[in-house]
Amino acid sequence: MTFKDQSIKQNDITPEGLFNDRRKFLKLGAAAVVANSAIVDLLAEDKYPTSNLMYKKDSNPLDLDLNTFEQITSYNNFYEFSTSKDIKKLVHTLKPNPWSITIDGLVDKPFQVDVRDLIKKFDLEERIYRFRCVEGWSMVVPWVGFELAKLIQMAKPMSSAKYVRFETLYDEKQFPDQSRGVFGAIDYPYVEGLRMDEAMNPLTLMSVGLYGKTLENQNGAPIRLVIPWKYGFKSIKSISKITFVDEEPLNTWQRANKREYGFYANVNPEVDHPRWSQAKERVLGKFFKQKTKLFNGYEKEVGHLYKNLDLKKFI
Ligand SMILES: Nc1nc2c(c(=O)[nH]1)N[C@H]1C(S)=C(S)[C@@H](COP(=O)(O)O)O[C@H]1N2
Ligand SMILES: [Mo]
């Protein structure tokens, strides 16, 4: 059994459990461990609970200052549990393993797969990205995942597929706020969407982990989207369905309040939200605000996608 298979089989064991049983972990295969510098770093520094993901490390060329694991996992938006930021204490009802995900719609190869099997099909990589919420806070996160483009290639979309629509699992037992129905904050299941070229952009990530280990429930376990140049609400959590469609999907926040939210949600310091200026942001853990950048600093990579779009109109 390869190290990768073994680590996936051991998903039921918490990373903390593995960490406490370090000798057992090391016995999984010295060669495999040595081959993975990220894991070696973690073991050497004793900094984080041991990873159960194997991935290629990001060299952090922009020299971004990472937020801590504690910060990233303790200040969250996840309305299926609560409108508060203290989601961590509520997420024990979410059971991310096993977890089935369906790929359907305008594709030649629709399929249904367990997330653990899906992960095995791709080489995972770390992506250190800025992450900016429309509420005016931001952070830098070392995500682990694979490019959405790779999954799209696997599904073989038809030429009529112009958009990709994502849905969070609907299960009132796992997500307590879903049962509040019309009295809840938003309609469920949570829905998001991307234009096909946005979905195919190499920055667009399907994330299955952060800081080297599988996602915490509060961050959208077991699989979530990460689109670093768009406001955080586009990065839909705990995905159970991905559908290829020919029309622009009506995403949850646009549906809730069309005046405040649109489909694109590109980070733009010059277009204010009715309740929040977008000119500046507070990085979690920092006292002074910093200037927000167009496309969250990823203009070089994604600016071309919006050459013919009025960014003031298409919010
Ligand atoms: N299903 C679902 N996905 C979601 C949300 C949510 O409430 N439900 N909140 C969004 C918002 S507003 C933000 S800012 C990010 C927060 O991600 P994080 O908690 O991992 O930082 O998740 C996004 N994805
Ligand atoms: Mo957000």
> Domain for residue 17, yes or no?
no
> Domain for residue 225, yes or no?
yes
Q: Which ligand is nearest to the Cα of residue 276, counting in written order? A: 2
> Domain for residue 23, yes or no?
no
pLDDT of residue 169: 98
Question: Counting atoms of ligand 1 from 1, which one is nearest the CA of 190?
Answer: 1
Judge if the beta carbon of residue 116 lies within 6 A of ligand 1: no
- Per-residue pLDDT 10s for the chain (315 aa) are 333 433 433 333 334 444 444 444 444 444 444 444 444 444 444 344 444 899 999 999 999 999 999 999 999 999 999 999 999 999 999 999 999 999 999 999 999 999 999 999 999 999 999 999 999 999 999 999 999 999 999 999 999 999 999 999 999 999 999 998 667 789 999 999 999 999 999 999 999 999 999 999 999 999 999 999 999 999 999 999 999 999 999 999 999 999 999 999 999 999 999 999 999 999 999 999 999 999 999 999 999 999 999 999 999
> Domain for residue 176, yes or no?
yes
> Domain for residue 230, yes or no?
yes
> What residue owns the CA closest to ligand 1's atom 5?
78
CATH number at residue 265: 3.90.420.10
pLDDT of residue 180: 86
- Out of 180, 208, 237, 260, give the residue to mutate to test ligand 1, the one with the largest number of ligand atoms within 8 Å of its CB: 237
Judge if the beta carbon of residue 261 lies within 6 A of ligand 1: no
Judge if the beta carbon of residue 237 lies within 6 A of ligand 1: yes
First-residue to last-residue Cα distance in the chain: 49
> What residue owns the CA closest to ligand 1's atom 1?
237
pLDDT of residue 226: 99
pLDDT of residue 182: 66
Question: Counting atoms of ligand 1 from 1, which one is nearest the CA of 139?
Answer: 21
Judge if the beta carbon of residue 296 lies within 6 A of ligand 1: no
pLDDT of residue 185: 80
For strand 100-105 and strand 239-245, is the pairing parallel, antiparallel, or unpaired? parallel
> Domain for residue 6, yes or no?
no
> Domain for residue 31, yes or no?
no
Q: How many domains does the chain have?
A: 1
Long-range contacts of 118-124, Cβ-Cβ distance < 8 Å, separation of 24 or more = 118/151, 118/223, 119/8, 119/146, 119/208, 120/4, 120/5, 120/8, 121/154, 122/146, 122/150, 122/151, 123/55, 123/56, 124/53, 124/54, 124/55, 124/56, 124/208, 124/209
> What residue owns the CA closest to ligand 1's atom 16?
77
> Domain for residue 104, yes or no?
yes
Domain that holds residue 231: 55-306
pLDDT of residue 52: 83
What are 239's two structure tokens?
């995905």
Distance 25 CA to ligand 1 centre (A): 32
**pTM reported for the whole predicted model:** 0.86
